[in-house]
Amino acid sequence: MTAIWQPDGWLSEATRRPSPNFGERPAGAEVSLIVIHNISLPPGEFGGDWVEDFFLNRLDAAAHSYFAEIAGLEVSAHFYLRRDGRVIQFVGCDQRAWHAGCSAWRGRDNCNDFSVGIELEGSDEQPFAAVQYAALLRLIDALRARYPIAALAGHSDIAPGRKSDPGPNFNWAVVRARYPELDLPPEVAA
């Protein structure tokens, strides 16, 4: 199936949930990096709408003790891949989502300026679902058809010491096998 892109980098196959947390990319910035994250709210719990609420600035701080710590943050990602493989998009890929924070990749700072952020519903402690990998590969294919993607990294690779996601249970071999030509983080010996 060929991806169908809407104006401003909205993927027609994704469920659209526009976040207010985005900005313009700097003039001339090309989308050349994909950053993989993991997220679950509350931490380690899956299946609710809390992540969507968080990216839409609707998180109820009183609903869980952890939410009080993060409810005021304004963050987003371009995509969120649920454990059942559903793809939700929060920011058009032509725009700058607020997913990377203080970051650098291959000597370039401010990864939000030139990257697309993909959040996988998950945690550092648990493996991801096979349908998530299938959805991720389809999404990467679609992004590569539209943008000059040259690299793919984890949040931990662009913000080492500050971030740990996508975590030790993310299967980089799946990505390496499909995209050997991409600039990927170095393999870590087990």
Task: Note whether 33 and 116 are within 8 A (CB).
Answer: yes
Count of Cβ atoms closer than 10 Å to residue 76 Cβ: 25
Distance CA 47, CA 49 (A): 7
**187 an active-site residue?**
no
Distance CA 95, CA 78 (A): 9
Residue for token pair 């659209």: 16
Q: Which of 119, 121, 125, 187 is catalytic?
A: 119
Count of Cβ atoms closer than 10 Å to residue 92 Cβ: 19
37 DSSP assignment:
E
Is residue 43 helix, strand or coil?
Answer: coil
Question: Which value, in Å, is the radius of gyration of the alpha carbons in the chain?
Answer: 15
Positions marked catalytic: 119
